[in-house]
Amino acid sequence: MPAVSVIVPNYNHAPFLEQRIASILEQTFQDFELILIDDGSTDNSRDIMERYRSNPHVSHILFGESNSGSAFLQWNKGISLAQGDWIWVAESDDYAAPTFLERLTDEASRMPNCSLAYSATWWVDRQGKKLWETPYSDAVNVYDGLDFIRHKLAVNNSIANVSECLFRRDAFRPSERHHYEQMRLCGDWFLYVLLAQQGSVVEVKEPLSYYRQHSTNISSDAEQRGLTFLEGAEVLEYMIQYCGLRRRDYARGWGHMWARYEHLYHFSTEVKRKVRKRMSNHKSILTWHTLYSLKQWSK
């Protein structure tokens, strides 16, 4: 059995697909299988994937007849086929440094109860040019899972994207996937919470992943529609109920984030109404939102 199962979920990322797959096949750590999944692309992504069918690392190539509309459904499809002890969901428009797997598997193996490991990331544009310099560090931080949730996931998702993560397959709970697989924006956040509940988290501060920003990223549109709060409230309420989150862990931060996003993304009247209704059960967040909004309006 391979040590790592690498899952590449793809939808219309043909311009980036070869670079992504090459960055996997050129890893210094070679004990992995590669699972390629296309979610009904209308470009030439399938032709590119077919070129790798005879590669010894490739264990599965799956083609969807139509787009499912959910990246998270594709993740779960790949995980269901995975044989490795570790899972790397390598998004098709991102790419990685050659030492990504070597470094993360090495650091994760030092912690027998590690359920999730992740590196820092470079943010790059469509052409791969760095948008800003990520501070280099060889530091490694280890967190108890619930402490990681409290300090890194309580207010927002501090992990930039899934391509920089490695998680243990036996920490993934298929019965819990309903929490996130229909989400548009916050499914990765919810998955990290579920994984952190199962063990410790290792943070490698060295930037080893390249996170591409371009016009097909869904995050900006989703945030403008208030999904950080409409979907994020589900993540928050799960953490409150099952991870021991207290008001002091999240209320002020959520209130500030709400006021800032509302101003930054110019929420429509309808989005404002939906978000306020969704957050109505969290009086402490509403209070902080009001205070930060008044501060913003007074400028």
Per-residue model confidence (pLDDT) at position 69 = 85
Per-residue model confidence (pLDDT) at position 14 = 98
In angstroms, the CA 211 to CA 121 distance is 7
Give the number of domains in the chain.
2
84 and 174 inside one domain: yes
130 and 254 inside one domain: no
The two tokens of residue 85 are 């002890």
CB-count burial class (<10 Å; 0-12, 13-18, 19+) for 28:
exposed
203 and 253 inside one domain: no
- Beta pairing partners, 202: 117, 142
150 and 238 inside one domain: no
Find the domain containing 278 and state its range: 220-297
All residue ranges of the chain with pLDDT < 70 are 215-220, 296-299
CB-count burial class (<10 Å; 0-12, 13-18, 19+) for 51:
exposed
User: Domain ends where: 165, 192, 214?
Assistant: 214
φ, ψ for residue 217, nearest 5 deg: -60, 140
36 and 131 inside one domain: yes
Helix (H, G, I), strand (E, B) or coil at 168: strand
Task: Write out pLDDT tens, residues 288-297.
Answer: 999 999 976 5
In angstroms, the CA 78 to CA 73 distance is 9
35 and 142 inside one domain: yes
DSSP 178-195: GGTTT-SSSHHHHHHHHH
b/e per residue 235-273 (b: at least 16 CB within 10 A):
bbebbbeebebeeebbbbebbbbbbebbeebebeeebee
250 and 182 inside one domain: no
Distances (CA, A) of 144 to 67, 202, 242, 243: 38, 9, 15, 12
94 and 191 inside one domain: yes
- Beta pairing partners, 210: 95, 122
In angstroms, the CA 164 to CA 68 distance is 24
226 and 96 inside one domain: no
